[in-house]
Structure formats: structure tokens, C-alpha cells
Structure 1
């Protein structure tokens, strides 16, 4: 009997599932069928790999296995005839250069999900679900929506792509521009979920943020665009802080308390080079401005030496380019650090009156900090408790509870 190998299938699922699904969607042209085929392939691998060992090309093995299972199912349903399927030969040939081919499939799927046939919000939701493997609950939290609304949006988007017979392939060069904005937003949302997970026991999901950076680099290779470079710069500069964002026990560490010696200098330098190239192109968009803000943090050798005047000025420009509630909240925090807590609190109160972020826990975190700096202890405690009630990520909840305990102890 073959020796059983210890294989962590959960880790392998995180590593391979997105690329497997992307390749199956392109071949089967059906999201739901591809998802079922992918899960069947992993179920087979769960039995075979511990006995036989990992194949040389795990991703291609999973794609091949899932594809054959899907073909068998379709034939049983009399949708296919019994003649040999020409796609199977092509799939076997991909084993020679599997990794690059399947990586490209993932990028093709992103561009497909971001097709102009879909509304902008539907493009983001569909891609986050199918490419990033986020749950509807995680996507709902990212958009500050109800999960049922997100689920309906995704179902309608799939149906529209199917009814319109949209090809699952990268667009021609002339069509790239009209899909680019949604693609960049999706890649950044993917990075954000990896950098600051909305659920799960760990505060971050390194495999997601790493994949987002890889896709960002790939898009920069395809398209000479300032915002592509701005997005890549932003992700690199934020990723440079990953090692300092959590303590040895997994607890979150606030930016002000991070050991900056742990920041990744090569990533900072690469991010700043990308930012410089983006600025030289003369088109300053939202991602480039956010990268410039991240660069200011990277330049500061300590939290006390952060140039909040520059950061506040950059937010003044950013709020004109992208006047979203979250950008306005971040601007309020920057102004509170530059001009004082009272100035920031006025802006926070305006956001609260609008009702747009009332259920966003980070608004109440910012409000609590400003109350605390103004010596308003009870108001600070109330805001902290409100933030704790709204937060769902375990590590964030631990951080909030620690802050409440610190304040209550004087």
C-alpha cells in the first residue's frame, strides 16, 4: 500500500482555486458548471494526492480533472455527443507550459467579468466572487450593502453574460480602456481583502494581496497607463508594512505603534519608482494620489515625523477626484492630525449626519480617537463600544477591546 503523505489541502485550495476556476470558466463558458467542476477536482485530489504525491503541475492537473468531469456530466445530460472532444487535446498540451497559460486565464476572467455589458457595480461584485473567491457576505461588507442584494447582483450578472454570449477572453487592445477602470478597482479590492481581511481568524490573507500585486504588474505590462502604475505603487507601498502590522501572537498593530525597521525597503523603493513614473505621465488619478499618501507614510522615519500637512493636502485633491464617503473619512482623520481633533470632528459629524457611514465601524473608531484626544472620555468610550458592536473581524475586535480596556483603566 502506498505511503500516505501529509498534504494541507486547505493551503493548496487557497493557492490554486482561483486559477483553476478561471481556466474552467474559459473552457466551459459557464460559471456555475465551472465552480462545480473545480470542487469535484479538489475532492478527487483530496483522495489521490496524499497517496500518489503532488503532481508536477498541480493547477493543470486540477483543471484537466475538473474539465473532464464537467464534460462527462454534460454528455450524460445529452448536451454533448460521444465523439472525442478537441478541447481535451489542447488541455493536455498545456501541461508543458501550464503555469503561464493558467495565469493568463485568470486575467482573461477578470476582463470578462468587467465586460461593458454589465453595470459597474455588478462587474466588481462578480469579479470579487468568481476571481477572488470572496463570499457574498465579504463583498457586502466591502460595498456596505446587504448580502441578499449582492447575491442578486451576481446572479443577474452571470445571466447577462450567458444570454449575451460574451466570449471568455481578453479584449482587443482597442477595448481595453473601457474595461480598465473596473479591472483596477477589482484588483485593489482583492488586495484590500488580503491586506485587511473582513472575516476569518487571521487579520490578513497574504495569498490574496500577493496575487493582486502579480495581476497589477501584469496589467502594467499590457497597458501603458498612469493609473495602472499608481495602483501598483499603492499596493507595493502598503504591502511593505505587512511584517509590522501584526505581533507574534497575531494581534493587529496600529500604524502609529509599528516598528518601521520591519518595513520592507525593496518594496518601498519599487513602489516609489512606480509612483514617480505615474506622476511623470501627467495623469493623476485616485490610485496615484493614494499612492502619494502612502509614500508620505513610507518616508517618515517615525510616526511623530509624519508630514500630515502634505497628507491633508493630498486628501484635499483626492476628495475632488473621488468624493466617496470613505475618502472623506480618511481626509477627516488627516485633517485632525494636521489641524487638531476639533477640525476633524466637525467633518466626522457631517459624515454622520449624511448617514452614509453610520454602520461603518472605522468611522466610530476615528470618532472615538478624536473624542479621546479632546478629553471627552465618556463620548470616546461610547464611540469605541459602537465600533466594537459593528466590527466582525476577530482580530479587529480584539484591538478595539484592548483600546476600550486601556481607556477604562485611565
Structure 2
């Protein structure tokens, strides 16, 4: 249903949305001039504008959105950014290196009154390549609106390939259309909630004078906890060849050249753009058992031989009972003959204490818990699952750059929410 009132007042003075994109300079373009949006960006802008127009029922003569392009001076862009009801950045690796995009992001997220930040995943971006906290799942409208339907497969393809990938895949044209409708619904909702006296009268800030929100890119924290015996606390009959003075000295794989797995993992994490902190399970226990709030994602590296210790098994079972998607578990299987001989027994102990982790999540997550047999497989799974844990952590954490939402009382006021 549409609002009984005309949406024309959201037109020129207050665009429904501001589309922010990283321009790809064309050969021979004038450096001082913003290049035209490429074909895919321009077509997405047109598709989103059409869907917003349809959903809102607007009769405004001016475009419902704004996209920077040659022929539009900086004053127009500044005015649109200061008055738009939602900010739709097309997120890609290039986006976070574009100074203009960084200034636009800063200008929108630091203005008052706020609007809706609706990031769109254009192409896949690793968590560690994002200098700001941003959730890249497909936007969802706020209650009480019922979100337009999007198939589970579409959500998976969107997360895997981004909206640009969906546009290129002619076999999934319906998936692309579903995503556009969902984004449009969020845009229309933001416009209807944002109406109020003085909205279009705000004084625009010169975008060119704003700081670049992406200029400083701190490393993302990552906790690495190790749960393994030390040389003085081995299970009865267990060979000591893989162990050292503490859990962090554990070396399950023979080809690590005398370097502990914890140390190698920390180096790999730094190469991925994380700032790792390595500790024992005991040191990380307040976080891993839910007694304190995490400040970042975690990876738990587990030696199944430690499960011969009833106390260790009990604490790990308590960890498994919690819903902590921002913690990923990797279980390296040492490459010594004794471990191979007892692999069935060790697997049974894992099933007893980690039933939740072995039954839920993606196949790669379950396989990482069940056992990793060599350093190459460990490296590969760590790289993917550490980033996945980081994404899970960011999706549960408050977005630092997300404008504060209105109070419940304010949100109940105004027009009926956008529905398709």
C-alpha cells in the first residue's frame, strides 16, 4: 500500500537515495571531472530508481535518486548528500580506496538528522579489506515492515558474487530483480520515516573539504586460542614429540620447521590483515564461555588429545552449548602414527563434546571441527574461516558508522511502511 499523500515532496530537494560508487576512469577522461558511471552502475541506478518510483507511487517530476556524473557541479552533489533520505554505497575493493567515496561516506554518517545507510555488496570484499565496520548482507527494512521475499539461494549468490555478479549471470535475472526490490523497499521506508519540518532546509557541507572516512585503516583484531596439552600434562601413554612447555608450543605437523602452529597461524593472520592475539583456552575462557563481551572474532585451535582430560572436555562442552558464530573451531590432527592409530577414538570424543559444532554450519566449518590432516589444508581453511568469523562478528556488533536509529516512539509515527 502507498501513503495516501503524494510523495512529490521527497523529490528534488530531498532525493530518496544517493548512489555512491567508485568510478572507473575511462581513457582520456578529464582528471578533475568525475567519470560517468559505467554501464552496470548506470543500469542498476535506473533499475533501483524505477522500483523506488513504483513502490512509493511518487508523482515527482525530478529523479527519485541522485548519482554523481559529469555536468553536475559539486554544489549539486553536496546538496543531494546533505538531504538524501538514504545512502546507497556500491561496495567493492575499489570503493574503499576512492577518496570521493570516503568523503561521501563521512559526510552522510556524520550529518544530523541522520538517514539510512544501505550498503550494497557490488563485488566481494574480504572483511580485512574494509576500513570501516559495515555489514554487507542484503539490507532488510526495519519493523514493522515485512521484507519483500528473497529466495535463500539468491541471498547465497548475493553474498558470494555481489550484485554485479548477479547482473552478469543471465541465469539468475530473477535473483537480481529480487535484490533490487528489497533495496528499493528499504529506500522507500527511509524516505517515509525521514520526513519532517526542516529536512530539506539543512545547509550542505562542502564534500571536498570533508575527511576521507577510509584514510585510516586499522588492523582488525583476531583472537587465537589454543587448547592442547603441554609436555607435563599429556594423556597416559601419549608421545611427547609434538608438545612443548605450554599449549602454544604444540606442533601437530612435521613440516612446520620447528615453528609452533600458534606462531604460524598468527603470521598467516597478519598476512590477511588481522592483528592477532595468541593465548591459551584458559586465558580466553571468559570470552569463549560467554562471560565477557568479545572485542573481535576468535579462532579456537583444538588438539583432540586434550579431551582425555575430563575438565577440558567439560569446558569445551560448555563452549559448544553456546551460540557463538563469531568463533570458528579448527581441529588439526597430528601426523604421527599414534594419532592415526587412535583417530576413531579421538573422533568419538569430539562428537561427544562438540555435537553442535559438528552438526551445524557450512560443510567447511563442520569439516574443520572434525579434523584437518595437513598444514596445507589447515592454512586454506583458516584463511576462509577466519574471515567468516570476522563477518559474523561484524554482523552482530553495532555498526560504528551506522547512524543511531530513532526511538521506538518516533518510529511508530509517520506513514505506513513500504510494502511491495
Of the two, which has the highest radius of gyration? Answer: 2
The structure richer in strand per residue is 2
The structure richer in helix per residue is 1
- Return the TM-score normalized by structure 1: 0.32
Work out which structure has the larger RCO, using CA pairs closer than 8 Å and 6 or more positions apart in sequence.
2
